[in-house]
Chain A
Amino acid sequence: MPIIVNLDVMMAKRKISSGELAKIIDITPANLSVLKTGKAKAVRFTTLEKLCEALDCQPGDILEWRPEEK
């Protein structure tokens, strides 16, 4: 998928573990894993808002668009 989720990069920058982040933004670790591995089909604005708040970043820091390789 051309949308890349850079959640693990931001988590490493903020030195926060998956369990901690899942607890802060109130989602299950399994769902956070789906998001981190890029398996997610969509992200709710509310989840994105919580992620930005918890990681003190902008949506663009988490999501990135890369053109599909032909």
Chain B
Amino acid sequence: MWTDIRSLRLSVILVRILFVLIPVLVFCVPVMVHWYDVEYQDGVGLLTGSVYWPLSICLYLAAVCGEVCLYHLGRLLGNLSKEIVFTAKNVQHLRVISWCCLLAAIPFAGFGFWRFLSFIVALAAAFFGIILRVLKNVFDKAVALQEESDYTI
């Protein structure tokens, strides 16, 4: 049977796998970017020429945002598994995750000048960041309600 606990455990496992996978991929960035630069030279963008450095910088910055994001996501999931839901700490984790998504959109938007397709990734990251910001605000209200309920005797 698929339960909430199993779903939570699966999320924790996926987050941990990705947390380890990102540093491994970061080491492979020079190889992957070189391959992309050689294979896809006919990409559409405002700027032409080699994308080796722009794409490398973009991926390194996105990796930093991704790692910070996954760390806080792991902490958030850890709290949820301990039944600690509406707390100021969780609001803080959501705030950081939201900012990471918005910050990750910046390098992809920058790389969009070399490859227009990257603007879609930037837009998706920014959109996700905004959704998380709304979720963070909902959590913030829920924390206030929970506190009021806890201190009603």
Contacts and interface: CB of A to CB of B under 8 A. Distances in A.
A44 B152 contact: yes
Contacts of B27: none
A63 interface: no
A9 B148 CA distance: 25
Helix, strand, loop or mixed for chain B's interface? mixed
A52 to B, nearest CB: 14
Contacts of B151: 34, 39-42
Interface residues of A, number: 12
A42 B147 CA distance: 11
Contacts of A35: 153
A47 B147 CA distance: 18
Interface in B125-153: 147-148, 151-153
B142 to A, nearest CB: 15
B148 to A, nearest CB: 5
A42 B151 CA distance: 7
A43 B148 CA distance: 11
A6 B148 CA distance: 21
A41 B144 CA distance: 11
A41 B152 CA distance: 6
Interface in A22-50: 27, 31-32, 34-35, 39-44, 47
A34 B148 CA distance: 12
B152 to A, nearest CB: 4
Contacts of B147: 41
20 contacts: A27-B153, A32-B153, A34-B151, A34-B153, A39-B151, A40-B151, A40-B152, A40-B153, A41-B147, A41-B148, A41-B151, A41-B152, A42-B148, A42-B152, A42-B153, A43-B152, A43-B153, A44-B152, A44-B153, A47-B153
Given A34-B153, A43-B153, 9 more contacts: A32-B153, A34-B151, A40-B153, A41-B147, A41-B148, A41-B152, A42-B152, A44-B153, A47-B153
Q: Which 8 A-B pairs have the closest CB atoms?
A: A41-B151, A42-B152, A35-B153, A40-B153, A31-B153, A41-B148, A40-B151, A47-B153
